[in-house]
Structure 1
Amino acid sequence: MSVKLRERKLAKGAVKFYLDIYHNQERTYEFLDIKITPSDTKEAKAEKKKIANLIRSNKELELITEDTNYIPKHLKNIRYSDYADSYIKSYKKRDIRMIEATDKRFRSYIKNERFKLSDFNPAIIKGYMDYLNDESGLTGDSPHNYFTRFKKIIKSAIDQNLMKANPFKNIRFKKKNNQDELRKQVLNTEELQKLSLTYCGNEELKKAFLFACYTGLGYAEIKELTWANVANGKLITRRAKTNQKVEIKLKDSLIKLLGKPKGIKDLIFDMTSKNGKTISDNGVNKCLKNWVGRAKIDKHITFYCARHTFATQLLTYGANLKTVADALGHTNTRNTIKYLNYIDSLKDEAVDKLPDLIL
């Protein structure tokens, strides 16, 4: 194993440093953001080379201690906030908003901007898990989703050898029993009919939400849905989150709800505000809240609840678990089981309401 500091000559007499690393019978190169230019003073050149040599020494120490529990001092001092800021800045995947949100939640939980990567331990992780479940105000699957995204941040630090131990080892996220919570987020047949007869401040949103309750589409799909996605009485599209194909037969009443078809590239629902911008999730949910309240339905309903409603309606009227999973665009039935549990709980309630035998 060796780590050598080398120089690369650039144009106009400049020099840039890089590390020549030979480790585990592989040679790699790591370029440093340190450059000496002809205009630098003698002192500046010496200082830059000194910094480059220090980086070389730290890298060598990291590799030497790679398979031990020893954490070099320069790694012990890395703050979680600094690392998370860097991770988020370079993150390019579609769930970036969830990554940002879970980072914000963790900082709120830990309340210490000086908290370091080396301070992590299983107790901190379990505490954050309990915080997401009990104190964060999150509902449904959100605590689990936040926890999963948080693991991605920490796993990245582990992969870069910035943490020697995995604080998530042997820890599995435990969901709360959320049957009562799910009940607040699901509309039954009677409530759907009541909503269809109730005035909504935005008629286009009213159509879109009711359509979602009978197709399971999320707002991300609804606002991008074109007439090309509706053909021969069927909806054919893909889930924005998983890219899983969804093909659903549309009831005649639903086709009537959509109105007269337009061009295949035209959007089915005009989800724009008066200023021409797409209505935000918050704006949509605020309008839904007013509409649901006007219908005198005492439930916390957001646009995402349309998926819950669609799933439970299918199960209530006899669909099997695999059919519901396919209709929702789930890659397997694991995420669909919660709806089956909810339906089972309704059956239990119905049995409890049966009159007793007279013995």
Structure 2
Amino acid sequence: MGKKQKELIHLREKQLANGDISLYLDIYLNGKRKYEFLKLYLVASPKSAKDKEKNRATLQLAQAIKSKRLVEIQNNEYGFSSPTKNQTNFLDYFSTLTEERKEEKGNYGNWASALKYLRQYCDESMTFDDVDSSFVEGFKNFLNDKKTKSSKFLSQNTQHSYYNKLATCLKHAHDKGLMQTNPTKSVKAPKPGDPQRDYLSFEEVRALTMADCKFPIMKRAFLFSCLTGIRWSDINKMTWSQVQDFNGVPRIVFRQKKTQGQEYLDINEQALVYLGERSKPDERVFEGLKYSAWHNMELSKWCARARITKDITFHCGRHTFAVMMLDLGADLFTTSKLLGHKHIKTTQIYAKVLDKKKQEAVGRIPSLK
């Protein structure tokens, strides 16, 4: 009997300081040893079904990379090339990348939503061997034709976001050696739309202060948002301990729910009035504030009583504040900091809104003839 050939590649584990387990390849060829860290991680001592499933998918991916590396070594050694079939489950792989972003809040939500639509689009048993440019083009068209529960088509920005998640996943798989080519290279990505920013003028906000609202707590919270730019999610969880005094100036100290950024927002006395009477530090400022279709309907009715015909949501309070600041002369950088934007290009969208206002104003000049 011939001598058994020594295995060239071993999949090994390394315990990290945070308790997770890092996977890497131990490659020994021609008397030389090389380590390839895969940037794949296992949950140590998994207890929940979710963690166990994540570990199973991660190990499957690591084994697939190991097999790919072995084929590459054989091809180089024997001088032939042959396309390999990759049986790694596509949705399992995408799910693993999604779970890795669980601490990223908003980004995780976008990945989870993209995964939901991918599960609707393709078969659960699909592998990377089935993923090609036709699959990518098909998903793009699927998003374009898809309607939400409210019978509305997905916005351009939503389509752009979900497509990008697929593109990121396939690039990751290609970089890991699971795909010979990246199929997104030959597909034109959907363009992001120019997002519409509905907002109220100062006169419209003033009209709301004088109009009746069925829910006084909602009225106070919305007007507070118009004067501070704080999102509903942060207003809803705001406690009195976050309302502080800084050298005689009222200040809201909070961590944004969406971005997790720590904010120190100075507010004026007018906004302070809408907070109401101060209570215990751990109690909510807007106790009783709720979000529902019923409350959204009342917001619309309240606007109608103020003779406002725009389609206004609670988030429009934030848009109103942004446009108001720029209209009153605040520069982009200052407005960006007041809104807690990480990138000033996000704030520049509101500058475009002001440009349209100027164009409309110029258009009102009466004819000279």
Alpha-carbon deviation of 1:237?
2.6
Percent of aligned pairs with the same amino acid: 27
Alpha-carbon deviation of 1:352?
1.0
Contact 1:244–1:330 (Cα < 8 Å) also in 2: no
Deviates more, 1:210-219 or 1:242-251: 242-251
Deviates more, 1:153-162 or 1:303-312: 153-162
Counterpart for residue 355 of structure 1? 366
Alpha-carbon deviation of 1:249?
3.2
* Separation of aligned partners in 2, 1:139 and 1:356: 39
**Which consecutive unaligned segments of at least 5 residues does structure 1 have?**
7-17, 33-53, 273-278
Alpha-carbon deviation of 1:118?
3.8
For 2:270, the aligned partner's letter is S
Question: 1:1-359 alignment to 2 at 5 Å?
Answer: 2-3=8-9, 21-22=26-27, 25-26=34-35, 60-65=66-71, 72-73=84-85, 75=86, 77-88=87-98, 91-93=101-103, 94-95=105-106, 96-108=108-120, 110=121, 116-122=127-133, 125=136, 128=139, 132=143, 136=147, 137-139=153-155, 141-169=157-185, 174-178=191-195, 181-182=196-197, 185-230=198-243, 231=245, 232-271=249-288, 279-280=290-291, 285-358=296-369
Rate the CA distance shift 1:60–1:255 in 2: closer, same or farther, 3 A: closer
* Separation of aligned partners in 2, 1:19 and 1:71: 24
Alpha-carbon deviation of 1:325?
0.8
Contact 1:133–1:176 (Cα < 8 Å) also in 2: no
Alpha-carbon deviation of 1:296?
4.6
Structure 2 residue matching 1:270: 3-state secondary structure: coil
1:311-340 alpha-carbon deviations (Å, 9 max, x no partner):
111112211111111111112211111111
Alpha-carbon deviation of 1:309?
1.7
**Which consecutive unaligned segments of at least 5 residues does structure 2 have?**
1-6, 13-22, 43-59, 76-80, 148-152
Deviates more, 1:338-347 or 1:22-31: 22-31
Alpha-carbon deviation of 1:103?
2.1
Root mean square deviation, CA, Å:
4.0
Alignment length, in residue pairs? Answer: 313
Structure 2 residue matching 1:345: 3-state secondary structure: helix
Contact 2:242–2:252 (Cα < 8 Å) also in 1: yes
1:1-50 alpha-carbon deviations (Å, 9 max, x no partner):
813599xxxxxxxxxxx997426711779999xxxxxxxxxxxxxxxxxx
Contact 2:9–2:70 (Cα < 8 Å) also in 1: no
Question: What TM-score, normalized by structure 1, do the two folds share?
Answer: 0.70
